[in-house]
Structure 1
């Protein structure tokens, strides 16, 4: 099961979380977010620079083949300008881009062509869908053949980090071929329910607000407890 911890910002906290063996760490580049990572040089220490066990230019792995040595960097964007996304891909050496707004399949294709292979070979793209009804789930059809992974999140007042579940039985309406992450208010208490999910395209979980000491700072002990409970 892929474990993605999103909304991180503090360097030491990032290092502590990566040592738990998580697969992805998400950095929010949306200025409206209380977890926003400002645009500075990646060498400034805001995001730790660490070796991935691969050279620059190597492709990021397929979605089911996360490396356990170091988590992969995911940049989270909400209806941002393409040039801003490309700049952050380059500056932060992102492995994945997570699009959390109303981005279209055309936009995804254009972004991929812009950065792969010249700027970031093998970049993977996650498309987040805000879920309130079965019709929201069925929007997966728009991204089949375009996104590498989907993220099903709660339709709330914010693009992410609302801290609330949606009705997980709505996942039965998903019949696509894109693996998905489950997000939206997941906490330690949800471990048993997550272990019980048998959807063939369920790839893992996205963790955020329910594991925070404050926005942008994660409770490492709580994350460790949750990871231990997962099958």
Structure 2
């Protein structure tokens, strides 16, 4: 997100986390500090194959609570950030089978996983994967469900159960334009989820 008033309006809906994308090729790229930053919602910085120094600098400048890594960052790279007291979400692309071997490498090197639809653009595809694949996840790290989640997915989300799923990540299906969220659709979605 980039617009201060849009950020304020989304935060007022009671969301837990708000993301800022620091990946220059993204149409949602944030290059300057918005006029408003969340005070209640946690601030998440999204990075793709960025240097440790840049991540630390952005974490400081934006007072990030957590960083979400969407590239080819190694478990060692994630651990270096953890050692600097930076919380880490490691995004993992899921296609038609669960990537167990990859996940095992990252256990203990991140605070959360984010399971997203596998694609070459590092997320933001607006496409879903078969969530039933996640029943194969036997790790210890909590995770977020992501990938093309939209207003019509309320029932599927309510029916999805996994003891380590702590939340969902919404993005492109709730936008008026890149990085500009549609407040009414998010509000209705959250209300429907709670019913």
Q: What interval of TM-score do these two structures reach, taking the shorter chain for normalisation? A: over 0.9
Matched, 1:100 2:100: no
Is there any run of 5+ residues in structure 2 with no aligned partner, and where?
none
Number of aligned residue pairs: give it: 194
Task: Tell me if 1:153 matches 2:116.
Answer: yes
Normalised to the residue count of structure 1, the TM-score between the two structures is 0.81
Q: State the alpha-carbon separation in 2 of the partners of residues 138 and 76 from structure 1.
A: 24
Q: TM-score with structure 2 length normalisation?
A: 0.95
Q: Which has the higher contact order (CA 8 A, sep 6+)?
A: 1
Which structure 2 residues correspond to residues 50-69 of structure 1 after superposition, within 5 A? 52=39
- Mean Cα deviation higher: 27-36 or 129-138: 129-138
Unaligned ranges ≥5, structure 1: 1-7, 53-69, 117-122
1:169 Cα deviation after fit: 1.2
**2:36 matched residue in structure 1:** 48
Matching of residue 229 in structure 1 with residue 169 in structure 2: no
How far did residue 187 of structure 1 move?
0.5
Name the SS of the counterpart of 1:203 in structure 2.
strand
Partner of 1:207: 170
Matched, 1:139 2:97: no
Equivalents in 2 of 1:48, 1:175: separation in Å? 39
1:187 aligns with 2:150: yes
Q: Give the corresponding residue for 2:14.
A: 21
**SS at 1:198's partner residue?**
coil
**Counterpart Cα distance in 2 of 1:193 and 1:125:** 27
The CA deviation at 1:112 is 2.2
Contact 1:180 1:204 in 2 (8 A): yes
State the alpha-carbon separation in 2 of the partners of residues 108 and 36 from structure 1: 22
Which residue of the partner structure matches residue 83 of structure 1? Answer: 53
For residues 181 and 100 of structure 2, the distance between their equivalents in structure 1, rounded to whole angstroms, comes to 29
What's the offset of the Cα at 1:135?
Answer: 4.2
Find the aligned partners of 2:101 and 2:180 in 1 and give their Cα distance: 34
What is the match of residue 28 of structure 2?
35
Q: Following TM superposition, by how much is the alpha carbon of 1:139 offset from its aligned partner in structure 2, in angstroms?
A: 2.1
**Kept in 1: contact 2:82–2:110 (CA 8 A):** no
Shift in Å, 1:74? 0.2
